[in-house]
Structure 1
Amino acid sequence: MTRVVDVVRAVIAPLTRTRVFRRVIGPALLPPIERLLARVTSGRVQLSALLVPSLVLHTVGAKSGIVRDVPLMYTPDGHGRAIVAGTNFAGEKHPAWTTNLLANPDADITVRGRRMPVHATPIPEAERDATWATIERQWPGYRNYERESGRTVRLFRLQPVRPRD
């Protein structure tokens, strides 16, 4: 199975670096497909998880206070935590979920159908290059989204915490 995933990644990865993917396929087509798949499988299957480790981040809206769900690629940091990057398909604006985490760092994630509480911490400037290197070992070229966006992408470490009462 790992060999199949490696081959699929080798084919798909270059496509994710194209302007068509960043402007149309990624932001317009993937989210509704992910939502439909999540609904049909009760959150156990994600399209993106076929290629990379993926989770659903459940944040509280910074302004609305409404719980928002967003499927994201994550990178395990080797210490039981997840790293997520607010690339927004190289868009010029930060994705809303990053603003939500800055305002409300206590969130939940669902990984393979299992929901757990986490605390989000922004990656400090001094750790950014090392963190990007970790992310790019999983998905080469991913930092190009930051370069092409013209902004500093927000990186977060999601630390599992004890369930809230």
Structure 2
Amino acid sequence: MPNDFNQQVIEEFRANKGRVGGYFEGARLLLLTTTGARTGRPHTTPVGYLPDGGDRVLVIASAAGAPTHPAWFHNLVANPQVTVEDGTFTYEARAVVLQDEERDRAFARAVEADEGWAAYQAKTERVIPVIALANVTQGGPGNLNASSMGEAIKVVHDAFRRELALIRDEMAKGGTTLGAQLRVNCLTFCAGLHNHHTGEDMAMFPFLADRHPELAPVLTRLREEHEHIAELVKALRRTLNAEHLEPGAARVEVERLSGELEGHLAYEEEQLIPVLDAV
């Protein structure tokens, strides 16, 4: 059974689609459900995570530098099939404990993003494990945590807003540098945004155009904005992939993308949510 603190975080996380206050406010947080190594019962734990590009995220079994691994780590070693809730989607994943150089590179990225991980490692003699959670859900990113099509749009949009706000804050704290983990965060965000807009162009917009011809001007504008935002994403990718990365240039591109994207999301919500909720 989760302790009282964890249970409070779990309930708040689920009620607010991934948003929590207090100790975890402003952190990348997910709910990890493992199968008890001894009991066989499901156990859900809030854990911080790092984007890793593609369909993987990383979690770190720090236990705040305790001398032993946390219980959830022993559970996923015994049964690597886990369930992940990120506030937007719930999906099945396979846990892989990173080894040797791959683990060290991932942990170094984590330390670069937050020196607290190094402090935890310094407190314990054990090598703190880094685990990749790879999405294995068939046919998409998982079950969307929304009860209507209109709510689905808002939930996905708010997830992009939160991630972009985190990236902007991390860039502001980075000073004259742009670390490897922050670069991964940006590229992962770009990929997710591209996939979302592609899905809208290929599925949701044709669905709405067929049933609501009066929305033609709105859908035309949204498609044009998708193309414009795609160009901004390409510019950010070029900056991040440059041989000599310039943090200042990356910050400019992120701020430009942020402003344009917020206007786009707000317009789409205003125009489409009432129609989608009616459907």
TM-score category by the smaller chain?
0.7 to 0.9
1:121 aligns with 2:104: no
What is the SS of the residue equivalent to 2:117?
A: coil
The alpha carbon displacement at 1:113 in A equals 4.2
Structure number with greater Rg is 2
Greater per-residue helix proportion: 2
The alpha carbon displacement at 1:67 in A equals 0.3
1:66 aligns with 2:38: no
What is the SS of the residue equivalent to 1:44?
A: coil
The alpha carbon displacement at 1:138 in A equals 2.9
Partner of 1:46: 20
1:15-74, Cα deviation, whole Å (9 max, x unpaired)? xxxxxxxxxxxxx885354134246x1653334653221100010001100000000000
Provide TM-score, normalisation by structure 2. 0.44
Question: Sequence identity, in percent?
Answer: 24
Choose the corresponding residue for 1:140, options 80, 96, 115.
Answer: 115
> Using a 3 Å threshold, how does the CA distance of structure 1 residues 141 and 147 change in structure 2: closer, same or farther?
same
Matches within 5 A, 1:90-109: 90-109=65-84
CA distance in 1, matches of 2:126, 2:50: 21
Give the aligned residue type for 2:71. A
Partner of 1:25: none
What is the SS of the residue equivalent to 1:151?
A: coil
Contact 2:31–2:84 (Cα < 8 Å) also in 1: yes
The alpha carbon displacement at 1:108 in A equals 0.7
Aligned length: 136
1:93-128, Cα deviation, whole Å (9 max, x unpaired)? 110000001000010100014210000000011212
Contact 1:45–1:113 (Cα < 8 Å) also in 2: no
CA distance in 1, matches of 2:71, 2:13: 20
Provide TM-score, normalisation by structure 1. 0.72
Contact 2:50–2:110 (Cα < 8 Å) also in 1: yes
Greater per-residue strand proportion: 1
The alpha carbon displacement at 1:85 in A equals 0.6
Partner of 1:151: 126
Where in structure 2 are there 5+ consecutive unaligned residues? 139-279
What is the SS of the residue equivalent to 2:120?
A: helix
Task: Please say which of residues 145-154 and 117-126 is displaced more in the overlay.
Answer: 145-154
Contact 2:18–2:30 (Cα < 8 Å) also in 1: no
CA distance in 2, matches of 1:138, 1:126: 18
